[in-house]
Amino acid sequence: MRIDVYMICRNEATLLPFWIRHYGPIARRIFAYDGGSDDGTVELLKACANVRVAPCDFDGLDDYRMADLFSHAYRLHSRGMADWAICVDADEFVYHPHLLAKLDLLKAQGAALVQCEGWNMLSETFPTGTGQIYEEIKRGVMDDYFSKPIVFDPEINVEFLPGRHAATFPPFKAAANTGIKLLHYRWLGEDYGRARSSRNADRITPANRVAGHGVHNDPEWTGVHSPEWFKKQMPYAKDAV
């Protein structure tokens, strides 16, 4: 099973060790596009034998440019060379207790895209262990917003829309209700969540602001995925893993 993983990141050294522990063993190759990290992120990535690091060719948090990068990178690097491509952020973990076996079965059944089941994982504290993050933080709330079509056969044409929460693709066999989940680890304690949002807010491009993309990162935001939302959702968290 040949799996290529794609990610865009900037200053994710705190969470990145968990991300590498998850994707490192399952990916044949990881293509990491860095947006100018200065916190050790690049060094962590380059220490992994199967990671290829390249700079982003744009500045700031720009959902349009990121969607375009993801939509073309897999065509260049994975088409004809991988069974599956996975396009994620540094806080997104594609999870199944037997992920490789499940993807192998789906491939044999003719599936070309997986609609992951989205979960927002919630914790009062940042994880401290040296194992997998989902072994320590198992609870969250289901979130259709994160049920992204981000696992697919690179032979098909997937065109991501801004944020990669949706995509356009030709008719083919898509797999849903597979038990494969997309675990989104953003709210790992209020301090960590606020700090991450603040970093992102400082980088939102004018084009993103005009379109309303990424506004949940702004300090004054009180809607979905804000600190206030996080505190209200904590009592409703249930086992995702």
**Fold (topology level) of 3-239:** Spore Coat Polysaccharide Biosynthesis Protein SpsA; Chain A (3.90.550)
Phi/psi of residue 69, each to 5°?
-60, -50
| Cβ 77 vs Cβ 31: under 8 Å | yes
List per-block mean pLDDT (blocks of 10 residues) for the chain, which spans 241 residues: 95 96 97 94 96 87 84 94 96 97 95 93 95 98 90 92 74 81 96 89 78 75 88 96 96
Give the integer Cα–Cα distance in Å for 205 and 94: 28
* Closest CA relative to residue 22, chosen from 100, 128, 75: 100
Q: Which residues contact 189 (CB under 8 A, 6 or more apart)?
A: 123, 124, 125, 126
pLDDT value of position 145 = 87
Write down the pTM of the prediction.
Answer: 0.94
* The CA-based dihedral angle spanning residues 65, 67, 68, 72, taken in that order and rounded to the nearest 10 degrees: 140
Q: Residue ranges per domain, the chain?
A: 3-239
Structure tokens at 57: 């060719």
Nearest-angstrom CA–CA distance, 26 and 99: 9
Give the pLDDT confidence score for residue 176 in this predicted structure: 78
